[in-house]
Structure 1
Amino acid sequence: MRDSLDGGAVRRWCAAGLAGLLQCEHEINQLNVYPVPDGDTGTNLVLTLTAAEQALQASDPLPDQAGQALRGMARGALLGARGNSGVIVAQLLRGLADSLATGPGTVRGRDLADALGEAAKASYAAVAEPVEGTILSVASAAARAAAGCDSDQLATVARAAAGAAATALARTPQQLPVLAAAGVVDAGGRGLVVLLDALVEVVAGTPPARPAPEPAAGPAGSRPPIPPHSHPPAAVLHQPGPAGYGHTYTYTYAYEVQFLLAAEDAAVARMRTVLGGLGDSLVVVGTGDGTWHVHVHVDDVGAAIEAGVVAGRPYQISVTRFEETTVPASGRGAVVVASGAGLLDLFGREGAVVVGDRPSTAEVLAAIRATRAGQVVVLPNDPDTQSVTAAAADEAATADVRVAVVPTRSPVQALAALAVRDPQRRFDDDVIAMAEAAGACRHAEVCRAARDALTVAGRCRAGDVLGLVEGEVHLIGDDLTVLSRQLLDRLLGGGGELVSLLVGADAPDRLGPALTAHLAATWPFVEVQLYYGGQPHYELLVGIE
């Protein structure tokens, strides 16, 4: 039994917590009952703790003090956080770290109790509209019990916190009617109980003997449990809670948007106000060094990402369409790799789960799982990403999910592939049809040269406008609009009936209208689709079918 907490104990806690979450991942996933869940909570928490452990192990040198180790654990969790519960767990870890980093080097029972109190406060502060009956309630109960011990015995405080958390978890259906209707406890709260039980195991030597959680008896007349794959109708719940907090929980929005953000505190405060007006489930958590993790449910994906752009530099953007991932009508899903507010919105409207450019295998795997489908098509949109998506597909196969990677090289090919999807076809036939549609779509790009270079079209200078066809430079010029017209003429000279234009984030407003006018005058029998893609690096993406 330990009488104090140090860096080594924190690392063992992280490893034990991750092991516990892996063991309970399926159980926690099954607790998702909302029509608009944050993906699979168990999987989200596993990925969040995996990132935390990787950050801890990468520390050089390994920190000796608990506060320093918790800082590394919290930062890793924040950067790898998935879903609402993952972001809140990251904030809880940061609250622990902030409290213990300024305290004594040796962490005893009262220090842990104080830190749990600060962590609970920080988690409430991170959520725009806190809701009782969730992980927040469980964290608050754990903190109150730890403080009530008034003990310097580390194991005594840890046991009290974990026990109170388990009791609070059983009460969550009484606080949140949708849980009572489904006959389950809160998924995020269950994950936190697993983590606190792991802490008890590390400091006391043995885990608490705890049966599988069951909801406490609800009020008379409460609705009976619904089948595990049914979902209550969309609604708005108004919950009373602690003074100072508004408790409105909605799950009527179509998309979950998450991104990391590099921004100043004042800009983030303004962004929170904007995002709060766009949707709900808003959680904004910072590392303390200008990096923030943003999570929100919205209908307008572009406006949410634009709020991040105004505040600073958003990156690792992911968008999940809830309607498709929660109750897939065909048992099939799609994952698309893309960046840019317009592209995220376009692919989201096609029912795809979107991950940002150059994702890791873990990020693609999380997106595959987020589809909640047994058959998934992945569209990488970049040759360099194909090996990553293939590795994620192999990993998903171990969970009996069939994944096919259609080797798209551009977002315009992904749009062509998604346009021919047919859930009535056999999966293999559908994949073939999508691959054929993507292959039949010739793709081209317009961008500016980043450096001097010798290309197949001649020498270019940094800042020159380049026209690329199938990845090779075909045109070099100094006027964006003129070169774009020339590129379209060259492509259509080889035939084509449909032209898709995706205008990038750095393109001037006049580019799209100028090109559609040129096509109408020069190629009057060609159908033109103009979209604002908002993609970085490329002022224009072109697809010819």
Structure 2
Amino acid sequence: MRRWLAMAEQTLANHSDRLNAINIYPVADADTGTNLYLTVRSASQALAELDPSDVGTTIAAAGRAAMEQARGNSGTLFSVFLSAMAEPLAGQQRLNGPLLAAALHRAQLRSWSALSEPMPGTMLSVLEAAAHGAAEVESALNGDDSNHALAETLDGAVAAAREAVVLTESQLGVLADAHVVDAGGVGLLLILDCLRSVVVGEPLQEDLLDGLSGYRVQDPNIALDMPEQVGVEVMCTINLSPLAAAGLRMQLDELGDSVIMSAVSEQADDTGAYPWRLHVHVPCPATALDAIQAVGDPSNVSISALSPNAAVDAHDLL
């Protein structure tokens, strides 16, 4: 798991510029590659000095670190993916095919439920395809928990994920018009192939990204040619009961879009509240912060402009 996340960190560092260049959904803010890289780096660094007791504990620790430091839609969804993967792996000393299939299935369910308005043609579609690909192979292998079966299960997951990335261009109108695939989907594909790579002891597949629309080095930076985006991205962590969290989600759905809420852990405090990581796009920071502060005391707050060339005015924070 350490080697997987370390490799994913390095791979995303190498691909962040190209991922940024095709990042036009849900907003053209040209930062998906950067956000994924920084979020994966947080997860990788969390394991550097950890003395893990099992696979689930290791991934859960990485997931919590990623959740607390998540950047953007893509980083937030990756942190949900990682945290959810840990649940079926709790107490397990090694990864195998059946566990991988279960972990990807759990990650798929949690990721789709974390968004108020999940959309096909995004990271969610790629994750769903990977989960289905792994499940099909694992089912055919009848529960084989050997390392060879794990490698085959990973091959199935990555192959299905790549097919899903190709399809993203036709699933979202904005991607079809720009002739590009989804940046977050490509990032997740790279992360999954990094896991395959460390398990089987082979390099990343050289032809993995061949033919993906908009992904050649010579292709233009399409994100910077899109109209300037109005608004800001607000992220924070807040302790709330499940009922209060549901109420806040409904309110944020009315105030903005790209709402993502996911529990950082399944451990409640003495009042029955859980820590939640929250992400939303709103016209100005106060729109979200007023609603958030009305129900709790947010921490680890980050605010960034949706336009890659814009800045958040100080008076907007008041």
In structure 2, C-alpha distance between the alignment counterparts of 1:214 and 1:77, rounded to whole Å: 31
SS in 2 for 1:52: helix
Q: How far has the Cα of 1:345 moved from its partner?
A: 1.7
Matches within 5 A, 1:491-530: none
SS in 1 for 2:291: helix
Matches within 5 A, 1:45-84: 45-59=36-50, 62-84=51-73
Distance 1:285 1:82, change over 3 A: same
Distance 1:278 1:214, change over 3 A: farther
- Note the alpha carbon deviations across 1:1-47, whole angstroms, 9 max, x for none: xxxxxxxxx11111111111111111111111258335501110111
- AA partner of residue 288 (structure 2): A
Identify the range of structure 1 (49-58 vs 137-146) with the bigger mean alpha-carbon deviation: 49-58
Aligned twin of 1:37: 28
For this pair of structures, how many residues does the alignment match? 297
Q: How far has the Cα of 1:131 moved from its partner?
A: 0.7
Q: How far has the Cα of 1:189 moved from its partner?
A: 0.7
In structure 2, C-alpha distance between the alignment counterparts of 1:120 and 1:177, rounded to whole Å: 23
SS in 1 for 2:118: coil
| Structure 2 unaligned residues grouped into runs of 5+ | 214-218, 268-273
Aligned twin of 2:270: none
Q: Confirm or deny that 1:85 pairs with 2:74.
A: yes
In structure 1, C-alpha distance between the alignment counterparts of 2:71 and 2:205, rounded to whole Å: 27
Greater relative CO, 1 or 2 (CA 8 Å, sep 6+): 2
Distance 1:145 1:35, change over 3 A: closer
> Aligned match of 1:304 in 280, 285, 288?
288
Aligned twin of 1:195: 191
Matches within 5 A, 1:255-270: 255-270=232-247
- AA partner of residue 345 (structure 1): D
SS in 2 for 1:89: helix
Q: How far has the Cα of 1:286 moved from its partner?
A: 1.5
Q: Confirm or deny that 1:25 pairs with 2:16.
A: yes
In structure 2, C-alpha distance between the alignment counterparts of 1:162 and 1:203, rounded to whole Å: 13
SS in 1 for 2:300: strand
Do the aligned residues in 1 keep the contact of 2:62 with 2:82 (CA within 8 Å)? yes
Alpha-carbon RMSD across the aligned residues, in angstroms, is 2.4
Do the aligned residues in 2 keep the contact of 1:185 with 1:214 (CA within 8 Å)? no
Q: How far has the Cα of 1:85 moved from its partner?
A: 0.5
> Aligned match of 2:250 in 265, 273, 285?
273
Aligned twin of 1:210: 207
Q: Confirm or deny that 1:315 pairs with 2:303.
A: no
- Note the alpha carbon deviations across 1:466-523, whole angstroms, 9 max, x for none: xxxxxxxxxxxxxxxxxxxxxxxxxxxxxxxxxxxxxxxxxxxxxxxxxxxxxxxxxx
More helix by share: 2
Aligned twin of 1:169: 165
Q: How far has the Cα of 1:73 moved from its partner?
A: 0.8
More strand by share: 1
In structure 1, C-alpha distance between the alignment counterparts of 2:20 and 2:285, rounded to whole Å: 26
TM-score by length of 1: 0.51
Do the aligned residues in 2 keep the contact of 1:99 with 1:114 (CA within 8 Å)? yes
- AA partner of residue 244 (structure 2): A
- AA partner of residue 214 (structure 1): G
Q: How far has the Cα of 1:305 moved from its partner?
A: 1.0
TM-score by length of 2: 0.86
Q: Confirm or deny that 1:345 pairs with 2:316.
A: yes
SS in 2 for 1:128: coil
Distance 1:193 1:35, change over 3 A: closer
Taking only the aligned residue pairs, the percentage that are identical comes to: 37
Do the aligned residues in 1 keep the contact of 2:264 with 2:275 (CA within 8 Å)? yes
| Structure 1 unaligned residues grouped into runs of 5+ | 1-9, 217-224, 235-251, 337-342, 347-532, 534-545
Q: How far has the Cα of 1:213 moved from its partner?
A: 4.5
Do the aligned residues in 2 keep the contact of 1:253 with 1:297 (CA within 8 Å)? no
In structure 2, C-alpha distance between the alignment counterparts of 1:198 and 1:191, rounded to whole Å: 11
Distance 1:35 1:48, change over 3 A: closer
SS in 1 for 2:209: coil
- Note the alpha carbon deviations across 1:295-324, whole angstroms, 9 max, x for none: 1111242131122212322122222233xx
Query: Who wins on radius of gyration, i.e. which is larger?
Result: 1
SS in 2 for 1:185: coil
Aligned twin of 1:230: 225
